[in-house]
Amino acid sequence: MPLGKVGDPQNVANVILFLASEKPSFITGAELFVDGGLALTNGFFMEQKKMIAKYANFKSMTPAVANPDHGKSRASHATKL
């Protein structure tokens, strides 16, 4: 925790209120991290590595496990709807 404390919902609410106001009228295509500086530390990258590894494990599953409808025709899938 770079700021030495855990954030609370009010921290996020303040950013949302700012973005909903007229003040950021010249901001376009920006990505705002409301994480107290965590993205600037190694902790962020460790979490990203865990998520990537989890996704890689999911993708390596057989298609039938990852997607039960894999291999079925569109017509048979449409009848379930």
pLDDT in 10s for each residue of the chain, 81 residues: 678 888 899 999 999 999 999 999 999 988 888 988 877 777 667 777 777 777 777 666 555 555 556 555 555 555 555
- Do 46 and 74 reside in the same domain of the chain? yes
What does pTM read for this prediction? 0.48
Domain assignment of residue 3, given as a range: 1-36
* DSSP codes, 20-75: HSSTTTT--S-----STTGGGSHHHHHHHHHHHHHHHHHHTS-HHHH-TTTT--HH
- Do 51 and 73 reside in the same domain of the chain? yes
pLDDT at 52 (0 to 100): 79
